[in-house]
């Protein structure tokens, strides 16, 4: 049994090799179906000492349906199925990735320091909800300044619509989005227009519906608890095949789909006490897989731990990942502009001061007390510079996990939305936009799913009601199972000329262009944020750049209040004002080239001047 990867592998000549880990079974067969499931033939598989079964067959075509039959008692989809065209309960299908003709041979990827990430949900990004429908929109994203799209999970999940985090088949590609071949087309098209593609992968749990893994082997352990029940079995006895399952998955996405990176979902729920953590192994595998492509593969952890061991190298007992999320920036901006203090926002009761800390030090909670957790939380970032941290002002989580999924487009005024955009795009970190925020999308992004099991459907409804029972939300929450809840989230793609939506999008374009072209735009190290009081109100001053007097530096002033304020330290400003967020072209009211002496509520300006030793 020399084929290292699990699942079905079909070569160009029609020979298919199946490999399945099923140590709980004594015998296994591949059951091939003809035109209907009532017409079948079986291939007997051989078993090795680790519980891997292998079988082969010639003259197999892509699309061939099959089940794995265990001990002649139950027939199930392949745990490593690469295609589930008929849903999570139906037979798997053979798929040959080599049939696609890639044209991205000269693609060199995008460096970590050049990432501008755009998070999207395939099903609601367009009215069609498919990979194919994304391709015509790529030019608009590139013109916006995006250098990488990040796809929310595309592994096969139950039904036609969902966020993707309840996926059951990690190797398969959601059929309602277009299936695996259409995903290859999308990635190839992204590379052709100069954009990387990052995939959101979920290694902390499997979805509940269509989950037959426990009948194959010990994929789960009760040693740890997670929000989704038993943890995935990453350490201890019989854990190596489960670890290999994850590593095979990384290889699969890189080899067969040419992905440029991965966002690892909720790593706090990935429990592993092995000498080498599974997270570290994902990075090692990605490095090896990247070599033939001669380009970077970025591994980015979604984490609220404020723990840089994720980034530290092995000599410091770290995992060596490329970057991690920093939610503290989001929480500061959100509480500052909305005034909300529920849940974990209780930790951000001084948002202006804490925003300054996040700009200077990344983590607000870097070992200090967290009232929400009732304990000290986090640690300083140490030597790690700003490009190691991904920040945002909206994400699928922060929007979708609200009761009605309301966005900044309805929560904030246009000036506040512009301020939030400016803070994120001038900050010395990697920015991540959530689809539609660049033009102030007002349509919500509520939680939605499409379970077929009625018990699960009612459990989800009940859970949502209980979760928000103590909040001042409408009595009737959106039904996650209703098709109209999903349809309400489809982007409007609407920014009429002269509207505040168009103005906001213009601002994003210019801020990202400034970030890309200014001499200190890619300097993630030298910055100084501070609060200045003007007319009794807080103004945030952010200087980007070091002490080199030959380099033009950025100095931005953000009015964090709803009052008109004088521009502080006017005498230090050159006449070179690069951008004023209150200009008409951004949806504001400022006209002409008169010197700026005051900042409108929630407005900001960006200036340039020669360096000093202030930063």
- Strands 323-325, 298-301: pairing is parallel
Q: Do residues 558 and 540 make contact, with C-beta atoms less than 8 angstroms apart?
A: yes
366 is catalytic: no
Q: What is the DSSP letter of 348?
A: -
Q: Residue 546: CB partners within 8 Å, gap ≥ 6?
A: 523, 525, 526, 611, 615
Residue 2: what are its φ and ψ, rounded to 5°? Answer: -100, -10
- Helices 414-426 + 500-517 axis angle, to 10: 10
Q: How far apart are CA 189 and CA 42, in angstroms?
A: 39
Q: How far apart are CA 443 and CA 423, in angstroms?
A: 23
What three-state secondary structure class fits 607? strand
Q: Do residues 559 and 596 make contact, with C-beta atoms less than 8 angstroms apart?
A: no
H or E segment and range at residue 580: strand 577-580
From the candidates 78, 150, 248, 302, give the one annotated as an active-site residue.
302
DSSP readout, 385-405?
-GGGEEE-S--HHHHHTSSS-
Residue 145: what are its φ and ψ, rounded to 5°? Answer: 120, 10
| Closest to 53 (Cα-Cα) out of 31, 33, 37, 84 | 31
Q: Do residues 230 and 238 make contact, with C-beta atoms less than 8 angstroms apart?
A: no
Q: What is the DSSP letter of 231?
A: E
CA dihedral sign of residues 333, 339, 341, 342: negative
Q: Do residues 477 and 468 make contact, with C-beta atoms less than 8 angstroms apart?
A: yes
| Closest to 447 (Cα-Cα) out of 473, 410, 481 | 481
Q: How far apart are CA 178 and CA 180, in angstroms?
A: 7
Q: How far apart are CA 317 and CA 433, in angstroms?
A: 32
582 is catalytic: no
Residue 198: what are its φ and ψ, rounded to 5°? Answer: -110, 140
Q: Residue 97: CB partners within 8 Å, gap ≥ 6?
A: 82, 180, 184, 255, 256, 257
Q: Do residues 458 and 446 make contact, with C-beta atoms less than 8 angstroms apart?
A: no
- Strands 565-566, 598-599: pairing is antiparallel
From the candidates 119, 260, 265, 450, give the one annotated as an active-site residue.
265
- Dump strand ranges (E) for 466-536: 527-534
What three-state secondary structure class fits 198? strand
What three-state secondary structure class fits 596? coil
Burial grade of 128 (CB within 10 A; 0-12, 13-18, 19 or more)? middle
Q: Residue 425: CB partners within 8 Å, gap ≥ 6?
A: 431, 508, 511, 512, 515
- Other CB atoms within a 10 A radius of the CB of residue 24 amount to 13
Q: How far apart are CA 257 and CA 525, in angstroms?
A: 34
| Closest to 298 (Cα-Cα) out of 171, 395, 396, 196 | 196
End-to-end Cα separation, the chain, in angstroms: 60
Where in the sequence numbering do the catalytic residues fall? 265, 302
């Amino acid at each position: 049994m020399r084929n290292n990867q699990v699942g079905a592998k079909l070569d160009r000549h029609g020979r298919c090799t199946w490999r399945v880990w099923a140590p709980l079974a004594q015998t296994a067969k591949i059951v091939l179906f003809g035109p209907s499931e009532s017409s079948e033939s079986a291939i007997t598989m051989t078993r090795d000492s680790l519980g891997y079964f292998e079988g082969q067959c010639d003259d197999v075509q892509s699309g061939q349906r099959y089940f794995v039959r265990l001990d002649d008692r139950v027939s199930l989809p392949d745990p490593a199925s690469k295609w589930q065209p008929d849903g999570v309960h139906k037979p798997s299908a053979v798929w040959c990735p080599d049939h696609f003709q890639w044209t991205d041979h000269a693609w060199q990827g995008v460096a970590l320091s050049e990432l501008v990430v755009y998070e999207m949900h395939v099903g609601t990004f367009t009215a069609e909800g498919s990979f194919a429908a994304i391709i015509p929109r790529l030019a608009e994203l590139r013109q916006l300044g995006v250098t990488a799209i990040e796809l929310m999970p595309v592994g096969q999940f139950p039904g036609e619509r969902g966020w993707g985090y309840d996926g059951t088949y990690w190797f398969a590609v959601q059929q309602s989005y277009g299936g695996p071949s259409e995903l290859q087309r999308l990635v190839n098209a992204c590379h052709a227009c100069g954009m990387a593609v990052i995939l959101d992968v979920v290694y902390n749990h499997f979805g509940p519906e269509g989950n037959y893994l426990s009948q194959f082997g010990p994929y789960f352990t009760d040693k740890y608890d997670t929000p989704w029940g038993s943890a995935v079995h990453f350490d201890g006895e019989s854990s190596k095949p489960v670890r290999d399952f994850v590593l095979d998955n990384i290889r699969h996405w890189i080899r067969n789909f040419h992905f440029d990176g991965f966002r690892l979902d909720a790593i706090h729920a990935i429990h592993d006490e092995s000498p080498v953590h599974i997270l570290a192994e994902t990075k090692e595998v990605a490095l090896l897989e990247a070599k033939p492509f001669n380009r970077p593969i970025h591994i980015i952890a979604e984490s609220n731990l404020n723990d840089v061991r994720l980034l530290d190298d092995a000599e410091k007992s770290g995992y060596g990942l490329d970057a991690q999320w920093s939610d503290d920036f989001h929480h500061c901006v959100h509480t500052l502009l909305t005034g909300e203090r529920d849940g974990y926002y209780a930790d951000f009761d001084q948002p202006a001061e804490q925003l300054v800390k996040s700009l200077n030090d990344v983590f607000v909670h870097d070992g200090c007390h967290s009232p929400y957790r009732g304990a000290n939380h986090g640690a300083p970032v140490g030597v790690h510079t700003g490009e190691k941290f991904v920040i945002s002002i909206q994400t699928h989580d922060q929007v979708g996990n609200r009761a009605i999924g309301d966005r900044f487009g309805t929560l904030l005024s246009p000036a506040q939305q512009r301020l939030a955009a400016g803070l994120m795009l001038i900050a010395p970190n990697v920015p991540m936009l959530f689809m539609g925020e660049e033009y102030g999308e007002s349509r919500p992004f509520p939680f939605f799913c499409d379970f077929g099991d009625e018990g699960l459907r009612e459990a989800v409804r009940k859970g949502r009601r209980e979760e928000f029972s103590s909040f001042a939300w409408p009595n009737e929450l959106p039904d996650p199972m209703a098709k109209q809840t999903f349809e309400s989230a489809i982007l409007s793609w609407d920014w009429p000329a002269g509207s505040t939506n168009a103005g906001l999008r213009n601002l994003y374009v210019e801020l990202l262009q400034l970030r890309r072209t200014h001499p200190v735009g890619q300097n993630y190290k030298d910055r100084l944020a501070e609060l200045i009081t003007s007319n009794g109100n807080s103004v945030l001053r952010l200087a980007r750049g070091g002490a080199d007097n030959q380099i033009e530096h950025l100095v931005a002033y953000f009015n964090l209040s709803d009052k008109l304020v004088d521009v502080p330290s006017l005498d230090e400003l050159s006449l070179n004002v690069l951008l004023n967020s209150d200009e008409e072209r951004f949806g504001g009211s400022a006209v002409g080239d008169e010197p700026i002496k005051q900042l409108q509520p929630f407005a900001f300006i960006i200036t340039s001047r020669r360096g000093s030793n202030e930063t």
